[in-house]
Structure 1
Amino acid sequence: MSQSAAIGELPEQAAAVLPKLVIFDCDGVLVQSEEITLSVLIALLNVYVPDTARLDIPYYIEHFRGRKVVECLREAEQLLGIQLHAQFEQDFRQHALHALTQHLKATDGIIEVLQSLAVPYCVASSAPRNKIEHCLRLTGLLPYFDGRIFSCYELGRWKPDPLVFLTACQAYNVDVCDALVIEDSVAGIQAAVAANIKVLGFGPVERHAKLAEAGALPFADMRELLTLIH
């Protein structure tokens, strides 16, 4: 079956059989953190180079979205021809946590969705557990996900590797064909596809072509999720 055919059939499949588990990504899905943290990262990287060589913030927010921080830093070093100091990642995380504390918000409509979901759900993220919990606590979402958090850092493998999604399914004793992933990044969608889990791609309309190309059915308003599931 072609990718486009699979995407086109997803709503019909979802309507026919409710998923037994909904797996949310955190950054960019439950909370709107990607633009905040990646803007901080790119600004810190741009300190190392002259204005004419600086990374374009909108482009690299999309390019780094959903990926492991260390991987992004190694790529940035190659792109910029620099060597970052040993404490750079730690400094970045401190700056990012401060920015999140000041500006982070829950995704519009997510609480309504969580309160209405009639099936089990959890969060599976490439971020460290302490960051996931910090973001959820800041936005009032932690009570919904207490005991339902899966972090790639605890598995040692990051999206697009599918292990974090497979681990969530195993923990809930749910077959991959009965799960549904909600993602906003290409890497996360690729991980769901690799796990043979149906995936919806959340993001603004201008990102929908990229999300669909990766293998997801795109949607722009979190409240649409209840309709797509049912």
Structure 2
Amino acid sequence: MNACATRPIPSWWKRTGFTSNFPSHSELRSESAGDMKYKAVIFDCDGVLVDSETLGNRVLAEMITDIGFPLSPEQAVQQFKGGKLADCLAVVEDQMDAKLPADFATQVRAQMAKVFEKELQAIQGVREALEAIPVTKCVASNGPEEKMALTLKITDLSRYFDGRIYSAYTVGVWKPEPDLYLYAADQMGVHPNECVVIEDSKLGVQAAVAAGIPVLGYADHSSPVELESFGAKTFRSMYELPALLGLQSSFS
């Protein structure tokens, strides 16, 4: 769908000087990320910067199993990767045909935070990639800003973004809609076609494509075929990212 051309214009977009409406795909040029014509790089957080998808979905699966609805971590990743927690829990309720406790989401987030403090690691090679990328960088995620701040602090990645951490909870619209990525571009002062997005989920790839932003799909723990089917150019290792951005050869 051409969501950018048909959705109502939010107030934050009206403040930009780029155009009077969301950019449509016809307004944006299609460029390869390999020639590094971009002024900014937008990173998803979970599964791209920090290895939290597996940990978070393990916690979710364990807690759902504990209340009598067996769910494996692998099933949780397959169903919920990249999704908004409230939407994930709504799916669980539908599958259970029962309501979860009212404070279940709060319990899940608290338990995730405990597990992250003990076990969370940065994605292998991402620190080296961030060091090599000289242009403006930001994080844009479906997760709450507090969660991103915690995971980036634990992994010592916060310093690469100078506070440019953008949450769908701030925008009020979640991936796969394009709004978060358009908001991130606006906040960095660049046009959407001057950015490139780094994603690992189909929801994120869909959001970037709908925003008219080129997207590289990190497929170390994802299906490259699935990400490519939604419009991403895929890669398997963060050590490859600088070369994909046209900066230098891949790290050995």
Q: Deviations over 1:69-102 (max 9, x none)?
A: 0000011001122211111111111110001111
Per the normalisation by structure 2, the TM-score is 0.82
Query: In 1, distance between residues paired with 2:208 and 2:226?
Result: 15
Note if contact 1:48-1:82 (Cα within 8 Å) is conserved in structure 2: no
Given that 2:35 and 2:245 are in contact with CA atoms closer than 8 Å, whether structure 1 keeps it comes out as no
1:150-189 residue pairs with structure 2 within 5 A?
A: 150-189=166-205
Query: Which residue, out of 172, 191, 194, partners 2:207?
Result: 191
Q: Which has the higher contact order (CA 8 A, sep 6+)?
A: 1
CA distance in 1, matches of 2:67, 2:89: 13
In 2: Cα distance, 1:89 partner to 1:78 partner: 16
Partner of 2:55: 36
Matched, 1:228 2:244: yes
After superposition, the Cα gap between the structure-2 partners of 1:205 and 1:148, relative to the gap in structure 1 and judged at 3 Å, is closer
Rounded Cα–Cα distance in structure 2 between residues aligned with 1:188 and 1:200: 10
Query: Paired residue for 2:32, among 3, 6, 13?
Result: 13
Deviation at 1:205, TM superposition (A): 6.8
In 2, the alpha carbon distance for the partners of 1:17 and 1:38 equals: 34
Deviations 1:140-161 (A, max 9, x none): 1111123211111111111111
Partner of 2:99: 83
User: Unaligned stretches of 5+ in structure 1?
Assistant: 1-10
Letter in 2 for 1:119: V
Taking every aligned residue pair, what percent have the same amino acid on both sides?
Answer: 38
Pairwise CA RMSD: 1.6
In 1, are the aligned partners of 2:206 and 2:231 still within 8 Å (CA)?
yes
The structure richer in helix per residue is 1
Partner of 2:143: 127
In the alignment, the residues of structure 1 paired with residue 237 and residue 96 of structure 2 have an alpha-carbon distance, to the nearest angstrom, of 36
Partner of 2:18: none
The answer to whether the 8 A contact 2:62-2:72 is kept is no
2:139 alignment partner, SS class: strand
Runs of at least 5 residues in structure 2 that lack an aligned partner in the other structure: 1-29, 247-252
